[in-house]
């Protein structure tokens, strides 16, 4: 697929080879949007803590982010077809391990392996496409790639919901990962015969020390954000976060030395001298940060706080996905005509969508969610695609490959940081609100139980203390201390008492999740206002990179 021969057989083979690459890209892009709706089911089945469910998503994304640029260089050095086959095979095996996971730790480990394999596979897709198609065909091919991305964005939550609802082969949430197995099984043998090998004539060297430094710097920040709240913010978590910035500084110093020694740093620091590139990367980071954060807590709230089914949740995301896909397709034309104003309009629409959602309140119905989710989706579509073009506009053509890889890595990191930080906000609020709600409801329950069941004095006090500990612990995502049975299995009292306490526990959980989601909306709104403000730092006129500045593409990944 690398050569551009026009013989009928070669031409057909080239386009079928493209289909194989798009199938592999679809597998990865679908993986980014399908897992969210399965998170509550995974939590219930494996007994995962809230920190663990954050790592199920963030572990994949972090692993992909820190190795994405290295994955591209491995293809340049050892062969793009070879690395594509290794990545696709590894991604398929990792998906099987995810489907077979018997514990949260095993699932997180399999997800990290999935992310590493995606980082090997994805850069080769875009590089092979660029090499196999001329500039006249590239527009058509990029449109197909964007269509596949939109299809994965729209279809992911719905497909995930259907798999959980229909439960084929009794796989439950495991079907979300098992879906990748037939896709990989089809793509691999076809790729062997249909894709030609290629290497870069002057490939950059690997930078393993740079990868290790940036990985540890990120882990020192992200790990305590995910685990610290659950462990009561021990001293090591604070020390870890304090050590993260100095290690980032060491990474930058090492990258400068690497640039001088062999010209193959992991990140080309000179690119940050361009204002459009630096501002664009910050905006890309914040956009994926806020969208990932919103959909993470939104999914948990609907399924854990309101007991919605995964299919109901998935279908409700359609207005966002459709709006983002359609607006993304129109966004470059609007940007070329109106310049920065089109991006500002998109950010304003996202803010309006969050405000409308907040106006309806956390108990909004599916029909009421259509307008705010559509506004958020359209706003994101209007911003993200032109922003990618604008970020690359001042990048020299010879640096475009590395710059594009950096954009993809930054969007991945935005997802990681968004989920980690919103986890602190949301889950802390859940625990605090649960404690307040249960303390407000206990006096009424005590009175009802005394009148209806004759439980008063020490016996009633013990039952209610047990109830309080259980409800707060379960709402915060862990079992009762010292007792394996959840609240719903009773407190050793009468059936009437247990039923009353079970209903009260459900009411506390709903209230805690509703109020915490409302607080999270304020966090989302504040981040969107910061994005809107930063957009004014971009050039007012429309600027786009030259065609040769798009050798590998920089299409944003969907976080929904």
**Nearest-angstrom CA–CA distance, 502 and 509:** 11
Q: Does 431 have pLDDT greater than 70?
A: yes
User: What's the rounded mean pLDDT across residues 343-364?
Assistant: 93
In a domain, 179, yes or no: yes
Checking if the pLDDT of 537 tops 80, the result is yes
Query: Structure tokens of 402?
Result: 């590395």
Note the pLDDT of residue 118: 92
Q: Is residue 58 part of a domain?
A: yes
pLDDT at res. 104: 92
The Cα 419–Cα 510 span in angstroms is 22
What is the Cα–Cα distance from 274 to 549, expressed in whole angstroms? 15
Q: Which of 172, 206, 240 is the last residue of a domain?
A: 206
87's tokens: 């990545």
Instruction: Classify residue 40 by burial, with Cβ atoms within 10 Å: 0-12, 13-18, 19+.
Output: buried
Handedness of CA 448, 449, 454, 457 (dihedral sign): negative
Biggest alpha carbon distance in the chain?
A: 91
Does 119 map to a domain?
yes
Spatial separation of the C-alpha atoms in residues 434 and 228, rounded to whole Å: 19
Residue 348 lies in a domain: no
Question: Total structural domains in the chain?
Answer: 2
Backbone φ, ψ for residue 162 (5° rounding): -65, -40
Angle value at C-alpha 158, between 375 and 412, nearest 5 degrees? 65
Angle at 219 between CA 45 and CA 37, to 5 degrees: 30
Residue 375 · residue 353 · CB < 8 Å:
yes
SS3 label, residue 558: coil
Q: Give the per-residue pLDDT at 156.
A: 84
Taking alpha carbons only, the member of 129, 114, 234, 130 closest to residue 179 is: 114
pLDDT level of residue 7 (50, 70, 90 thresholds)? low
Task: Look up the CATH number of the domain holding residue 69.
Answer: 1.20.1250.20
Q: Which of 11, 233, 23, 14 shows the shortest CA–CA distance to 122? A: 23
User: In this structure, what token pair is assigned to residue 277?
Assistant: 């590139």
Structural domain contains residue 489: yes
DSSP state, 303?
Answer: I
Q: What is the dihedral of CA 143, 148, 154, 156, to 10 degrees?
A: -160
Q: What percent of the chain has a predicted confidence (pLDDT) above 90?
A: 30
Q: How far apart are CA 117 and CA 115, in angstroms?
A: 5
532: exposed, middle or buried (Cβ count in 10 Å: 0-12, 13-18, 19+): middle
Domain boundary, last residue among 145, 171, 206: 206
> What pLDDT, on a 0 to 100 scale, did the predictor assign at position 116?
94
Confidence of residue 447 (pLDDT cuts 50, 70, 90): low
CA distance 371 to 353: 7
Contact 487, 500 (CB under 8 A): no
- From CA 37, how far away is CA 303, in angstroms rounded? 8
Look at residue 233 and tell me if it is in a domain.
Answer: no
pLDDT tens-digit readout, 135-188: 666 667 766 777 777 778 778 888 989 999 898 888 999 999 999 999 999 889
> What domain range is 108 assigned to?
1-206
Read off the pLDDT of residues 448-503 as tens digits, 9 standing for 90 and up.
Answer: 666 555 555 555 666 667 777 777 776 766 543 334 344 545 555 566 666 777 77
| Separation between Cα atoms, residue 531 and residue 276, nearest integer Å | 14
Query: In which residue are the tokens 């086959």 written?
Result: 85
Of 206, 221, 243, the residue that ends a domain is 206
Question: Per-residue DSSP letters for 131-192?
Answer: HHS-HHHHHHHHHHHHHHHHHHHHHHHHHHHHHHHH-GGG-TTHHHHHTHHHHHHHHHHHHH
Residue 260 covered by a domain: no
* 377 closest CA partner among 306, 316, 422: 316
Say what the pLDDT of residue 4 is.
47
In a domain, 128, yes or no: yes
Q: Which residue has the higher pLDDT, 379 or 509?
A: 379
What is the per-residue pLDDT for 556?
41
CB atoms within 10 A of CB 147: 14
Give dist(CA 275, CA 277) in Å, integer.
Answer: 5
């Amino acid at each position: 697929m690398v050569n551009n021969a026009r013989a009928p057989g070669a031409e057909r083979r080239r386009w079928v080879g493209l289909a194989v690459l798009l199938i592999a890209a679809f597998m990865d892009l679908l993986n980014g949007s399908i897992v969210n709706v399965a998170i509550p089911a995974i939590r219930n089945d494996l007994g995962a803590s809230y920190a663990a469910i954050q790592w199920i998503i963030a572990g994949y994304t972090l692993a992909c982010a820190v190795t994405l640029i290295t994955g591209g260089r491995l293809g340049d050095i050892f062969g793009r077809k070879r690395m594509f086959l290794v990545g696709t095979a590894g991604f398929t095996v990792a998906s099987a391990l995810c489907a077979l996971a018997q514990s949260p730790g095993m699932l997180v480990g399999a997800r990290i392996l999935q992310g590493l394999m995606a980082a090997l596979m994805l850069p080769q897709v875009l590089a092979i496409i660029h090499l196999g198609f001329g500039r006249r065909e590239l527009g058509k091919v990029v449109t197909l790639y964007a269509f596949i991305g939109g299809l994965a964005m729209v279809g992911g939550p719905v497909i995930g919901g259907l798999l959980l609802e229909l439960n084929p082969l009794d796989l439950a949430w495991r079907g979300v990962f098992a879906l990748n197995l037939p896709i990989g099984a089809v793509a691999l043998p076809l790729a062997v015969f249909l894709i030609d090998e290629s290497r870069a004539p002057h490939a950059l060297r690997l930078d393993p020390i740079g990868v290790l430094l940036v990985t540890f710097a990120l882990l020192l920040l992200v790990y305590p954000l995910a685990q610290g709240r659950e462990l009561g913010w021990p001293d090591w978590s604070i020390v870890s976060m304090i050590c993260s910035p100095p290690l980032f500084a060491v990474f930058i110093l090492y990258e400068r030395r690497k640039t001088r020694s062999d010209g193959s740093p992991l990140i080309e620091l000179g690119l940050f001298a361009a204002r459009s590139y630096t501002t664009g990367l910050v905006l890309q980071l914040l956009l994926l940060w806020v969208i990932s954060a919103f959909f993470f807590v939104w999914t948990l709230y609907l399924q854990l706080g309101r007991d919605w089914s995964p299919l109901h949740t998935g279908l409700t995301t359609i207005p966002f996905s459709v709006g983002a896909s359609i607006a993304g397709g129109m966004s470059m034309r609007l940007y070329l005509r109106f310049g920065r104003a089109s991006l500002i309009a998109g950010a304003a629409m996202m803010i309006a969508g969050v405000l409308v959602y907040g106006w309806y309140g956390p108990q909004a119905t599916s029909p009421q969610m259509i307008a705010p989710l559509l506004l958020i989706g359209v706003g994101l579509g209007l911003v993200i695609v032109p922003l990618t073009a604008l970020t690359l506009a001042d990048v020299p053509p010879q640096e475009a490959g590395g710059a594009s890889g950096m954009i993809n890595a930054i969007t991945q990191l935005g997802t990681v940081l968004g989920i980690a930080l919103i986890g602190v906000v949301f889950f802390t609020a859940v625990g605090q609100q649960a404690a307040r709600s249960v303390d407000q409801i206990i006096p009424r329950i005590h009175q009802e139980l005394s009148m209806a069941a004759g439980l008063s004095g020490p016996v009633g006090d013990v039952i209610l203390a047990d109830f309080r500990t259980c409800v707060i612990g379960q709402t915060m995502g862990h079992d009762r201390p010292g007792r394996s049975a959840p609240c719903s299995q009773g407190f050793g009292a009468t059936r009437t008492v247990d039923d009353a306490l079970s209903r009260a526990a459900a009411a506390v959980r709903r209230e805690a999740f509703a109020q915490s989601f409302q607080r999270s909306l304020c966090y989302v709104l504040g981040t969107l206002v910061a994005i809107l403000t930063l957009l004014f730092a971009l050039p007012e006129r429309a600027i786009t990179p030259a065609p040769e500045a798009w050798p590998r593409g920089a299409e944003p990944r969907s976080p929904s």
